[in-house]
Amino acid sequence: MGSPDHFNQRVMVTPISTKRVEDVKSDALNTLLHISDLDSLDEWRVQYLGRKGQLTQLLRGLSSAPENDRAQIGAAANIAKTVLEEQLRLREADLKAEHLSGVVDRERIDVTLPGLPVPEGKLHPTTRMVREITTAFASMGFQIEEGPEIEYERYNFDMLNIPSDHPARDMWDTLWIDQARPDGYRPLLLRTHTSPMQARVMENIDPPVRVVVPGKCYRYEATDSTHEWHFYQVEGLAVGEGITFADLKGTLYEFARRIFGEDRKIRFRCDFFPFVEPGVDMSISNFKDKDGNRPINRDEDWIEILGAGMVHPKVLEGVGYDPDRYTGFAFGMGVERIAMLKYGIDDIRLFYSNNTQFISQF
């Protein structure tokens, strides 16, 4: 019959011994040599030094060792533990340093490289044009006003000498918001021009009046390269005592020169708008120079840019001005059209394409 120790040694798969401790230690140190990242290092720590790790298990099994050997095995195991912990610490420090220097390498900033361009915002060409136009008139003594885009039929048409049965309403294809109702409800529409502001301004202030009104307008119209169903206009109105057609000409001549250049000539031709009498359209000159080039890239000597005229007496009367005492002139222009001429843009739809490449050119 063998001794209990002998018995124990036979049944234990890996009986605890100094040799066993040394094996685990050198095994651990060998494995450590191949570890190259922090995650694997942590797995290594769990495998050898963790609560269920190999070395920890050995220490726990110390009681099963022959009593005489226990002190020696225990000491060896503690040394092994210290060595492994120390190696763990060193390897961890190395790997962290390596990781950091990798990060630094990857994220190194070369201060000699040119900077990245910061995208710069630009004003929309319509906005720029509105500002150029209104600034030109402001410097001639005009105030800048704005009005509603949703407008009463009354201001858009009736107050401008365009009663509901008047065929001239066909000149402005209208987007109606509401039709008339028997209860006296006043129909609404999207204004087809900025002219309703003529009546609104005159209702509010006594003469003399000098205003320009930039704003969005809408028409129920098919679009093509020269037509949009929404667009901007700038309206102008000057009313007072003794204002004549000569004032209209002088003011618009000065405007044309400021926007399109000093050498500009202007031409007026008769035109019809129910709210002016006489009514005109104005064109700017576009003659060939001695090399055969034109200031505006269009094969025309004259380019129409706006409608204008002397304010109709009925309009003055309608807002309570005495037409025998006061006279005035009004004009209206399409902002995109002016911008197209000035900047050489050939399709009005580009203004509303939401295309920043287009916008950034101006």
Q: Quick count: other Cβ atoms within 10 Å of Cβ 70?
A: 14
3-state helix, strand, coil in the chain (%, to 5): 45, 20, 35
Q: Which is nearer to ligand PHE, 295 or 328 (CB)?
A: 328
Binding flag, residue 351, ligand PHE (CB under 6 A): no
By Cβ distance, which residue is nearest to ligand PHE? 332
Binding flag, residue 243, ligand PHE (CB under 6 A): no
Omega prior to 313 cis, within 30 of 0: no
d(CA 263, CA 152): 42
Binding flag, residue 276, ligand PHE (CB under 6 A): yes
State the Cα torsion 169-175-181-185 to the nearest 10°: -100
Give me the least distance between CB of 299 and ligand PHE, in Å please. Answer: 25
The catalytic site residues sit at 172, 193, 219, 233, 276, 330
128-187 residues in contact with ligand PHE (CB under 6 A) are none
- 182 neighbors 191 (Cβ within 8 angstroms): no
- Token readout for 241 is 């005592």
Q: Which is nearer to ligand PHE, 255 or 273 (CB)?
A: 273
What are phi and psi for residue 195, nearest 5 degrees? -55, -30
Binding flag, residue 307, ligand PHE (CB under 6 A): yes
Q: Which is nearer to ligand PHE, 53 or 328 (CB)?
A: 328
**CB under 8 Å to 284, separation ≥6 — which residues?**
256, 260, 264, 265, 266, 267, 302, 303, 305, 341
Name which position in 125, 295, 318, 332 contacts ligand PHE (CB under 6 A): 332
Binding flag, residue 273, ligand PHE (CB under 6 A): yes
Q: Is 134 exposed, middle or buried (0-12, 13-18, 19+ CB in 10 A)?
A: buried
Stretch that binds ligand PHE, among 6-14, 18-26, 307-315, 337-345 (CB under 6 A): 307-315
Binding flag, residue 232, ligand PHE (CB under 6 A): no
Number of chain residues interacting with ligand PHE (CB under 6 A) = 10
**Shortest CA distance to 267 belongs to which of 313, 300, 311?**
300
Binding flag, residue 285, ligand PHE (CB under 6 A): no
Stretch that binds ligand PHE, among 115-123, 243-251, 262-270, 301-309 (CB under 6 A): 301-309
Instruction: List contacts with ligand PHE (CB under 6 A).
Output: 193, 195, 273, 276, 307-309, 330-332
